[in-house]
Structure 1
Amino acid sequence: MAEIAFRRAKRTDIAVIVAMLADDKLGSSREDIREPLAEAYLKAFEAIDTDPNQFLAVMTEADRVVGTLQLTFIAGLSRRGALRGQIESVRVIRDRQGTGLGQKMIEWAVDQCRERGCAIVQLTTDRSRLDAHRFYERLGFKQTHLGYKIDL
């Protein structure tokens, strides 16, 4: 197996990241992988990349991007002013799924949160992603909240 590395995403990674986000039933209905990519993706990347409380990460294997996730560090007054780490948009490229890379990514993300001083790490996953629920529970995450969203 080639060496696995983590790094901050670059602008040149956007297309492969969007392709990973689109590579399932839910994502294919939400994302647009047509080239050239929509300007909204580029603007979002710039906003994430310049925000010190955001970290869009890619996992590479032999310099090939094989996974991605986004970390958001959230300051709050609750829990005695605790900093939270929010993990989102976790994806592993299709031909490397089921090989342990997802676990490596989550462990890396939790370590990043720990190093940043977070008191808690949280994530959400769509109700329909039953495999993801089992995966996160196997890694020690507990389902503690009921979440709500509103589309604007």
Structure 2
Amino acid sequence: MKVLLVEDNLGKRAAISKFLSKKFPEDVLEEADSLIVGLRLARDHRPDFILLDMSLPNHPSKNRGAHAADMRPFAGTEFLRRVKRMKFPTKVLIVSMFETFGVAPNLTTLQGLSQDMAEKYPEIYLSAIHYSTSDDEWQVQVKKFHQIVKAGQ
């Protein structure tokens, strides 16, 4: 199975990548650290399964410099919208370290975003799970959704 991991946090990306490589060594795993690179890899390689962070920079880290002006708190929703337009069979799982997004008065929760994405992108969106370095539940969830995607191929 072809898997794409789109995550800008180096520690989180390394942990998820290590988990995927250990549990699913037969998979072909590609990684991106920004919205633009993730979309390019999705378009060019058409992965079966995409693990996506919700908050991402628009451009790769080497192009950003020292400021966070490039960060997009809702990049995951834009990613889903664009991948849907690409019209290839894939499934997307949001894996986020955050429970809330945006700033007041436009603050929303991971659960609220998940419900919205499920309604807007039912053909490609699976779910949103919370990533934590102190809890392995994210691994259980990633494994579960990986098996769902693989069974649907």
Structure-1-length-normalised TM-score: 0.33
Answer with 1 or 2: which has the greater Rg.
Answer: 1
Higher RCO (CA-CA < 8 Å; seq separation 6+): 2
Structure-2-length-normalised TM-score: 0.33
